[in-house]
Chain A
Amino acid sequence: MINYLTFLPEIILVCTAILILVVELFQAPSSKRSSIRWIAFLGTLAALLCLSCLSGSCPLGCNLTDGTAQQAFNGFIKTDGLALYFKMIILLATLFTLLMTYRHFETHKTPYPAEFLAILLFSAAGASALTSAQEIITLYIALETLTISSYLLASFMKKDKGSNEAGMKYLLLGAFSSALLLFGFSYIYGLTGTTVITEIAKSLAMQPSSPLAVFALILVVGGLAFKISLAPFHMWTPDVYEGAPTPVTAFLSVASKTAGFAAFVRLFWVGLNVPSLQPIWMGLFAVLSAMSIILGNLEAIPQKNIKRLMGYSSIAQAGYIATGFLAIGPMGLTALLFYIFVYLFANLGVFLTIVIVANKTGSEQIEDYAGMWKRSPLIGIVLLVCLLSLAGVPPFAGFSGKWYLFGAAISKGYTWLALIGMTFSVVSLFYYLQVAKQALVVAPKDPSPIEMSLLERSVLILCVVVTVTLGVWPRPIMDLAQAAASSLF
């Protein structure tokens, strides 16, 4: 028998997606299609709730396991605490994306809303499955499920040139990087004769260092760094982020990246964490992370389009998170997990406002954010709090997140990298505050207020509350992250 509990969240997501497609078939073309929205929303919520049941700490008491990691397919898939944490991030991001989707398609009409939702859920299922993968082929297939769906999502607005360009660029470069990744995997298999990550580590530990192993390592880094947009594999990010529909951009910037981080952690901290290779990839990550921080922050400064700005910002953020890769151990992993959580709320808060504002003004230019404070005080607060959190200003959550990340890096002797990180956090204030300044200081050109639904309002307030609370009291999520990290160490 197969232990279905291992991939219960994915089953729920896929079933929801299929259900959406079927339900839409039987709807009149003129109907408002609110039912499929609710199905998508509830399905994702159910998947999220099932995570807590799987972790053995369901508040409703329906614990499916006693908290032990579930395995299936001879351990090819294992849903441990770490996987559950990553899944939580991905599913939360999916929920946010769904919310944005509803608002986005009000003005950007598409004849295929059901298909969009279904593909989004397939994508989320891929990302979610990736976090449990303990074997490189499973990992690759999950990754492709995620990215191929993302290509479709990015180019979803068929009549829109930007969206088409984004999708095409993403497809071509994504295929290129997938090829690199697969090429690297093939070498790893060739060297070790196994695809199971823990076995790879054992086999590699017994071999002397070989140039082929190094080559494989570099290919894998190249392939995966593309997914989380680490420099110099970041070039696609701004173009795709700008062109893709905003909810998709938000999804790419959080869910897709989180899956990439999960793959990184599994592959490098377990599979390639052998004495002959470890110093090489540590050095590599230090350089890549420094490059991402520097390039991402510097190139963000002259931007005029907020989505493009967020694209560069996400490159820099990936660089910050990558510093956490260097601190192998529970402390580094905890810091990394915590930061991803913080990043989720801050980033998605900003993207939600982008969608709401674009819905009203039809613009994504930063100058059109003038006087947002007057038009909707909540949007002003969200922009200020979330952007400052991304910049790492106390007392917001981004500060404590960076505190832990850089602290972990320093404890492993990467003080220079932490210094670069801190210096460029200051640089990042330059462009984050540019947006905040437009929103809070400059007088509005058009003072008409911006309306939003109760749900959006409460989600935005949630973003602010989480960002502020975790800044002064990071304990709850730190404890969660620590528990998740303990499943690897």
Chain B
Amino acid sequence: MTTTTARAIDRFRKAAAAEGLLDVTYATADSPFGTLLLAATSHGLVRVGLPNQDRDALLEELAAKVSPRVLEAPARLEEARRELDRYFGGDLRRFELPLDWTLSHGFRRRVLEGIATIPYGETRTYTEMATGAGNPRAVRAAGSACGSNPIPLVVPCHRVLRLSGALGGYAGGLEMKESLLALEARRARD
């Protein structure tokens, strides 16, 4: 792509924003674990892609489930990027940025909303999350709700463990889950 094309695209993006046509915007952000994909609607952060997740597949999913008007534009993601930076640096314990829950429904969404309230440095079990969402026997469903969390890190599904204390699963890989818990445990003691 030539610089003239890049400039034309940049102008187009601004005009599209002014017209309110940017239904979903996305940007990448650096993290200690690799590059994250951040996507937002006008309501808030709608999707966080972890470093090991397929970026194209995530964008296609957003196009299919939210709106095909998906465009790369960093402006709306600045706050998310800043808060995540501070989180990885151990300086942020509670995310304040607005979230868009569009991608989660029903029981899954109730589980994820419960997870969003687990305090920094603490953990819960899948059983507790199932109970909190109104169905104590749906432990597996609670586990799969965690697994399908569209906004990991900000909705801290890494704070949910098995009853035995085993890590369970994590979309970003178990090493990442372990590191996040270790970071929070260190900072929580400070």
Do A and B form a real pair? no
A residues lining the B interface (CB < 8 Å) = none
B residues whose Cβ falls under 8 Å from a Cβ of A: none
